[in-house]
Amino acid sequence: MPISSNVFVRSTALLLLVGFLALMGIVGTTIWLVQQNQTWFDQTTEARLARSVVVNLRNALQDAETGQRGYLLTGEERYLEPYNRSVPEVPALLDRVKEVLAPYPEEGDAVAKLGPAVTDKLDELAETIALQRSGDVEGALNVVRTDRGKAAMDEARALFDGVIEMSDTRILTGIENQRNATNGLRWVTIIGAFVIFAVVGGSVWTAMTYTRELAQARQEVVDANASLEDRVRERTSDLGRANEEIQRFAYIVTHDLRAPLVNIMGFTSELETSIKTLDQYMSKRDVASDPAFAEAKVAATEDLPEAITFIRAATRKMDGLINAILKISREGRRQLKPEQVDLNEIVAGATTAIQHQVVENGGSVSSDVTVPRIVSDRMSLDQVLGNLLDNAVKYQQPGRPLEVTIRARQASGNRIEIEVEDNGRGIAATDHERVFELFRRSGVQSQAGEGIGLAHVRTMVRSLGGDITLRSTFGTGTTFIITLPRDLRRFLGSQTA
C-alpha cells in the first residue's frame, strides 16, 4: 500500500517518539542503576574500612598483650618491643574506630563499651609491666591471675568480632547488590538496544519506502512538466499580451479623457470672460426699480463665479488623476535598461536634491551604503529614491528637525536591501498597506497630492524584480525597505523565459 505524506509523517513521528521514550528509559534506568551501584559500592567501601580499622585495633591490643606475656615470662626488655610499638597506636586507632562506626547507629552500644574495655586492658598491661620492672614478679603474676585483663580482652574481642561480622555482612550484601545492579544494567542495555534497533529499522524501512514512492512521483511530475512547460509558456505569453492590452487601454482611455477635459477647461475660461463682461454690464444698471434684474445680477456676479470655481477645482483634480494614470501607464511600457550602477552615486544624487530643504530646518541627511555596485535600471532607482526622499521632506514632523538615513546592504538570495529611514510624522498601523494603493493617502491631508507617489514607487520597484514594504510608528518616523536583485538581467531573463 502506498505511503501518503500524512502516514509517513505520523509513522515517523511515532517511531521517533518510541525511540525517544526508549532512549529516555535507558538513560533514566542507567542513571538510577549506576547511582544504586555507587551507593552499594560506597557502603561496601565503608564496611571494609570499618572492618580494617577494627582489625588493626584488635591486632594492636594482641601485640601489646604478647609483649607483656613475653616480658613477664623472661624479664627481658626486648620482649616488650611489640608492647612499646602498639600501645601508642591504640588511642588513635580507638578514635578512628569511633569515627568509621559513627554512620552505624546500631553499633553505638558496641562503640560505647569498646573504649572502657580497651582502657581496662591497657591499664592491666601497664600495671603488670611496672611490677615486673620493680622486681615484684609475684605481684605482677597475681594481677594476671585476677583475670581482670583477660575479662577486658575477652569483652573487647567479642566487640571486635561483632563489628567484623557486621562489616562482613555488609560487604557481602553490597557485593551482591552491585552484582544485581550490574546485571540489571546489562539487561536494560540489551533490551534498550533491541528497541532502538527496531525503531531505527522501522524508520529506515519507512524512509526508503517513502523515498522510492517520492522518486516515482517525481518522475511522473517530470513527465507531466514536459507538456506543462509548453502550456505555461503559452499562458505566460497570453498574460503578457493581456497586460500590454490593459496598459494600452489605460493609455487610450486617459488620453481620450483629456480631450473633453480640455474642452471643459477651455469653455470654463470663456465663461469666466463672459461673466466679467456681464458683470460690467450689470454694474451700470439701476436694480432698484427691477427686482427680477436684481436676482439676475446676483446669479451672474455671485452664483456663476462660484460654480465656475467648483468646476475649475474638479477639472484640476481630474487632470491630476489622468496625469497620474498616464504616468503609471508609461512607466509600465518603458523599456528597462540594465547597467552597472553605483549605489553610492545614486544615493548621493538623490540626497543632494533635498539637502538644502533639510539643512534649512536644522536637519541632516546621512547614508551608509555597503553594496556599491549592482546591475539595475538607473532611471527607476533615481525615481524611487527621489520619491521616497520627497515624501520624507513633505511629511516631516512640524517643530522637529528632519533626520534622514539611507542604508544599503547585502541580503540573502543574491539580493540587496535598501532602507530609507526618517523621523517624520509616521504612518498609522492601519495604513501601512493602504499608502501603496493608487489614489489612497494616510493621515491629515495637509499637503497637496493625488496619492500616486507610493503606488508609482511600488510599480517601479516590482518592475525591477523587487518589492517595497515599510515599518512605522505614528508620530515617531517611517522606514521604507526595498529589496532588489543584484542583477536585473537575471530577473528579466526569467521573465522572458
pLDDT tens for 191-235 read 878 788 887 887 778 777 878 777 887 777 777 766 655 664 666
**334-496 domain in CATH 2.60.120.200?**
no
pTM of the model: 0.42
Nearest to 485 by CA among 403, 407, 374: 374
CA distances from 407 to 241, 436, 477, 482 (A): 38, 21, 16, 10
- The predicted pLDDT at position 106 comes to 74
Per residue in 432-475, pLDDT tens? 787 887 655 555 555 555 557 788 888 889 888 899 999 988 88
Class of domain 5-210 (CATH, top level): mainly alpha
Nearest to 196 by CA among 30, 25, 28: 25
More confident residue, 108 or 45: 45
Per residue in 293-308, pLDDT tens? 666 666 666 666 777 7
Task: Point out which residues pair with 417 in neighbouring strands.
Answer: 409, 483
Torsion of CA 443, 449, 455, 458, to 10 degrees: -90
Q: Which three cell numbers stand for residue 359?
A: 539643512
